[in-house]
Amino acid sequence: MDFTLGIEEEYQVIDPVSRELVSHDQQIVIEAEKVLDEQVKAEMHQAVVEVGTNVCKNVTEARAEIKLLRKSISNIAKDLGFRIGAAGTHPFSEWEKQLITPNPRYDEIVNELQDTARSNLIFGLHVHVGIENKALALHLTNAMRYFLPHLYALSTNSPFWEGRNTGFKSFRSKVFDKFPRTGIPGVFDNLTDYENYVNLLVKTKCIDNPKKIWWDIRIHPTYPTLEVRICDVPMSIDETISIAALIQAIVAKLYKLKMQNLNFITYHRALINENKWRAGRYGLDGKMIDFGKECEVETRLLIEELLEFVDDVVDELGSRKDIENIRNIIKNGTGADRQLAVFNETKDLTKVVDYIIEQTIFGTD
């Protein structure tokens, strides 16, 4: 099993003078398509640009692609008079002022979901791990749900919303929770069970296609991948690659256990949601529940345990250096922690935006 990687990131388009989010009228996408082809696309809000890597054999290839994508989009944005930033929410821009991209698909979503769609001004990281066999992908998805709050805590990068310190390390998920078919999925016993669920939603016109299932982890409806969607877009390249490497390692470890006829315990969605709440509220600074021991444990310690859990697969994946960088995140804090530190020092949200812009392209030279 190769466990190929694909990474999608959503970037903010920022006015360098006001530091507000701003419509780029798809100019960045139009210019970027000339050099990046289908690796860049528009999103529902005109202040968002989404990029995606090609299929990568390993984290080394993924790093090179993310570095190229951030550099290319940043340079194109600068030439057009914009800047880009990687954070789960913008510190002070108001969603009410943002333009929607003219597109029949987006028109349909806004018509159905109304202000839940219009206010969905958030920026995420989606990591795909290649799994050809859908039944196997579903088995691994069921097991991997337990680790989603750990990954979420590491990625927290959205403490501000419309000019307020929300008190959350990640407010992005609170915004997205208003959408239907989001959050931690339940367990599906087998592929037929899952497909019956999807077919019922289509038949009853809840959805017209399975892409409108926006869970924190899902079997991708078209690609042969397992897709983890819970994370805020991280501020730095290093954070993105380390989190992607950890996701890949968890999948590889769970696969290894299955090949040894060992199963990781699957926990009820309601229990995992308790940890997701804590991860969004406190990031790395809180405690989560160890369901095996039935007690609270510091989140940092649980993530250290997770690193030990995957340790026997990382060398084979060639990702030890990037996995080790998780310990730097544990030590130095997430993007949310750094945003809050800049604000506490300067009391100026425009300085926070400047910091996000600077960190987004750090290491692209």
Query: How confident is the model at residue 174, as a pLDDT?
Result: 95
Query: How confident is the model at residue 250, as a pLDDT?
Result: 98
* Cα 94 to Cα 162: distance, rounded to the nearest angstrom: 5
Query: How confident is the model at residue 44, as a pLDDT?
Result: 86
Domains contained in the chain, CATH given: 5-360 (3.30.590.20)
Query: How confident is the model at residue 134, as a pLDDT?
Result: 96
Query: How confident is the model at residue 120, as a pLDDT?
Result: 85
* Cα 232 to Cα 335: distance, rounded to the nearest angstrom: 9
* Cα 250 to Cα 244: distance, rounded to the nearest angstrom: 10
Provide the 8-state DSSP code for 39.
G
Strand extents, DSSP E, 83-230: 83-85, 125-130, 160-161, 164-165, 182-183, 214-215, 217-219, 225-228
CA distances from 186 to 34, 219, 290 (A): 41, 13, 19
The letter for the amino acid at 251 is: V
pLDDT per residue as tens, the chain (365 positions): 899 999 999 999 999 999 999 999 899 999 999 999 899 998 888 999 999 999 999 999 999 999 999 999 999 999 999 999 999 999 999 998 988 888 888 888 888 889 988 888 999 999 999 999 999 999 999 999 999 999 999 999 999 999 999 999 999 999 999 999 999 999 999 999 999 999 999 999 999 999 999 999 999 999 999 999 999 999 999 999 999 999 999 999 999 999 999 988 899 999 999 999 999 999 999 999 999 899 999 999 999 999 999 999 999 999 999 999 999 999 999 999 999 999 999 999 999 999 999 999 999 98
* Cα 327 to Cα 21: distance, rounded to the nearest angstrom: 32
* Cα 147 to Cα 12: distance, rounded to the nearest angstrom: 27
Instruction: Count Cα neighbours of 41 within 13 Å in the Cβ-side half-sphere.
Output: 9
Q: What letters, b where the CB count within 10 A reaches 16 and e where it falls short, cover 130-149?
A: bbeeeebbbbbbbbbbbbbb
Q: Is 52 helix (H, G, I), strand (E, B) or coil?
A: strand
Query: How confident is the model at residue 70, as a pLDDT?
Result: 98
* Cα 86 to Cα 144: distance, rounded to the nearest angstrom: 26
